[in-house]
Amino acid sequence: MTKPQGIAVLGATGSVGCNTLDVVARHPERYRVVALTAHRQLDKLFEQACRFRPDYLVVADADAAASLRERLADAGVSGEVLHGAGALEQVASLPEVDAVMAAIVGAAGLPSALAAARAGKRILLANKESLVVAGRLFIDAVRASGASLLPVDSEHSAIFQSLPADYAGDPEASGIRKIILTASGGPFRNKTMAELAGVGPDDACRHPNWSMGRKISVDSATLMNKGLEVIEAHWLFGVAPQRIEVVVHPQSVIHSMVQYRDGSVMAQLGSPDMRTPIACALAWPERIEAGVESLDFFSLSDLTFEKPDLQRFPCLRLAFDALAAGGDAPAVLNAANEVAVAAFLAGGLRFVDIPRVVAATLSGVSCTASDSLDGLLARDREARRFAEAEVAAC
């Protein structure tokens, strides 16, 4: 029998992290959990540590680390407890780690995902913000180290599965006309502008098809999530923005498509369950059991398609604009969005002001290209400061 693969799950206590551990637990002979990380949810991390017995655990700060260390000692569970952002990079680069699930939310996930790329790991990428903030740097790091980059975002997994097996990043050479990203349209698809002005955080987090963390749920409601995914697709698949089309498909059965020159459209279908793209990325090119029910075609309702409404959901347009502007514009867009979404979730910003804060930040902060991680992180901080002032002024 071959040796199990060592896995580090960054953001283990989140929605993608928990789904990853659900799939991993089904295959103890294939995977060994080497490291688990969480920010502040110590109870959940403690439970996961008892179950998966990782060699390393990472938490946000020294106090959290001390408290977790004590609980683990009482429970007789070994494992080194580290803390801080540097420790995330450290566990992502360990020699005994073969694959890194990058499932931290936001730009906070970039340094550790990039460390995995630089260390030549198999990167299972859920943290789309890494590619939005640092697309060029990230892809160059993957190429330089020989790392492999497997998408976990369901749309990108669908595209990955619909591309030719030998796809080398050149759509023209592979006869590809378009990448079609499907979007559920989120919980507010049918709301008027006037209704959108009054929606609150819990309404936004009640997604019709997917159960996800709160930040991405709000992004799905504003369609910024789809905008971030357009930028993610650009970097993952080497496609120009003009070749990326967004189609609203409320049932979330078709997870995305590739349209070829000869008129063929290849699509990937399935139940809206993240364990499918997670299992696909974990085992590719093999297919493993993920605990997901088979799609029952006889119980499917109609599959419908609409154009996205950029008047009511301007965040999608802002993301296309930022991609076209290039340089650090996508990093600025992302930082402003994180600030605005956090303010909305905290009850300090109206839903309809999220795109306003993002647009103002994009016009107020310089977007000339940074060529290093430090430069990008400085730009991210500058954009956050600007966006915070915008939020305060709303």
Chain residues binding ligand NAD by CB under 6 A are: 11-17, 38-39, 41, 103-105, 108, 126-129, 153, 210, 212-213, 215-216, 274
- Can you tell me the distance from the alpha carbon of 323 to that of 391, in angstroms, rounded to the nearest whole number? 23
CB nearer ligand NAD, residue 107 or residue 137: 107
Q: How far is residue 371's CA from residue 126's CA, in Å, rounded to a whole number?
A: 23
Q: Which does 145 bind (CB under 5 to 8 A by kind): ligand NAD, Mg ion, none?
A: none
Q: Is 327 in contact with 369 (CB distance < 8 Å)?
A: yes
When CB distances are held under 5 to 8 angstroms depending on the partner's kind, the choice from ligand NAD, Mg ion, none that residue 129 binds is ligand NAD
Q: How far apart are CA 112 and CA 100, in angstroms?
A: 9
- Closest distance of CB 126 from ligand NAD, Å: 3
Taking the CB of residue 340, how many other CB atoms lie within 10 A of it?
Answer: 30
Q: How far is the CB of 54 from Mg ion (least distance, A)?
A: 27
Q: Residue number with the shortest CB distance to ligand NAD? A: 14
Our CB check for ligand NAD shows the closer of 213 and 364 to be: 213
Distance in Å, CB of 155 to Mg ion, minimum? 5
User: What are 204's two structure tokens?
Assistant: 């936004």
How far apart are alpha carbons 308 and 314 in whole angstroms? 10
Q: How far is the CB of 114 from Mg ion (least distance, A)?
A: 21
Q: Which does 273 bind (CB under 5 to 8 A by kind): Mg ion, ligand NAD, none?
A: none
CB atoms within 10 A of CB 251: 16
- For Mg ion, the binding residues in 138-157 under the rule CB under 5 A are 153-155
| Shorter beta-carbon distance to Mg ion: residue 49 or 274 | 274
Minimum CB–partner distance for residue 369 and ligand NAD (Å): 23
Q: How many beta carbons lie within 10 A of that of residue 194, not counting itself? A: 8
CA dist., res. 162 & res. 141, Å (int)? 25
Min dist. Cβ of residue 29 to ligand NAD (A): 26
CA distance 279 to 293: 13
Contacts with 25 (C-beta within 8 Å, 6 or more apart), sequence order? 51, 52
Choice between 16 and 176, CB closer to ligand NAD:
16
Residue 192 CB, nearest approach to ligand NAD (Å): 27
Contact 320, 241 (CB under 8 A): yes
* Residue 120, contacted partner among ligand NAD, Mg ion, none, CB below 5-8 A by kind: none
Q: Name the nearest CA neighbour of 187 among 223, 229, 158.
A: 223
Dihedral of CA 206/212/213/215: which sign?
A: negative
**Count of residues that bind Mg ion according to CB under 5 A:** 3
Residue 254 CB, nearest approach to ligand NAD (Å)? 16
Q: Cα dihedral angle (371, 376, 378, 381), rounded to 10 degrees?
A: 160
- Contacted entry of Mg ion, ligand NAD, none for residue 14, CB cut-off 5 to 8 Å set by kind: ligand NAD
Question: Which C-beta is closer to ligand NAD: that of 14 or that of 171?
Answer: 14
Pick 126 or 223: Cβ nearer ligand NAD: 126
Angle at the Cα of 359 from the Cα atoms of 356 and 363, rounded to 5 degrees: 140
* H or E, element range at 335: helix 329-345
Nearer to ligand NAD, 158 or 360 (CB): 158
Interface with Mg ion in residues 288-317 (CB under 5 A)? none
Closer CB to ligand NAD, 83 or 379, in the complex: 83
Q: Which residues bind Mg ion (CB under 5 A)?
A: 153-155
